[in-house]
Amino acid sequence: MRRKAGLTWMAACLLAGLFLCVAPLTRVQADEGDASDNSSPGASAPSDGSQSEKPSTAANTMLVQDDYRIDAKIVGSSDQRDMIAEGDMVFLNAGSDVMAPGMEGVVYRKIGKIKDKKTGDILGTQLRRVGKLIITDEVGDTSCTARITSSDEPIQAGDLVHMGK
């Protein structure tokens, strides 16, 4: 008995944990106007267009709406590394109005906008979790320092921070 190719493909996707591959969704490129103009604390997820893309599983990605709260953006590391990992110190573009020593947050990378193939509607923005951090005692008026407590992949300047989880 011969199996249908589509059914085998869906089963392979499900076994691999790639649940999004069976949905009628596509990722669309961010508009040029989306680039880094929205990097202020509390703004929706900005795009800097420089992110490398790799397949990810549903376990560390999520689809968010434009009003999803982004508390800060990583603007650099204490030793100017391009790839930041667990134990490294990073600088955030948010200060004492948003951050306090000891607060924990999740670091996300913007993957792109998700569009419904059938209707063409933008459903939201896909974010991939790349790590976690904790705010140190160094919190100023407009910036603060944090230590990366875990990283699922190299963290980069431009990655987004959501506090509270």
* CATH of residue 60: 2.40.10.410
Cβ within 8 Å of residue 87, ≥6 positions away? 147, 148
Instruction: Using the predicted structure, report yes or no on whether residue 6 has a pLDDT greater than 70.
Output: no
Q: 113 lies in which domain range?
A: 25-163
* pTM over cut 0.75: no
**pLDDT band, residue 57 (cuts 50/70/90):** low
Is 54 a domain residue?
Answer: yes
pLDDT class of 64 with cuts at 50, 70, 90 = very high
- Percent of the chain whose predicted confidence (pLDDT) is above 90: 59
Sequence-distant (6+) residues with CB within 8 A of 91 are 74, 75, 76, 77, 78, 143, 144, 145, 146
Please give the residue that has the higher pLDDT: either 66 or 90: 90
Question: Is 6 a member of any domain?
Answer: no
The mean pLDDT value for 87-94 works out to: 97
How many domains does the chain contain in total?
1
Q: Which two tokens stand for residue 129?
A: 């979790």
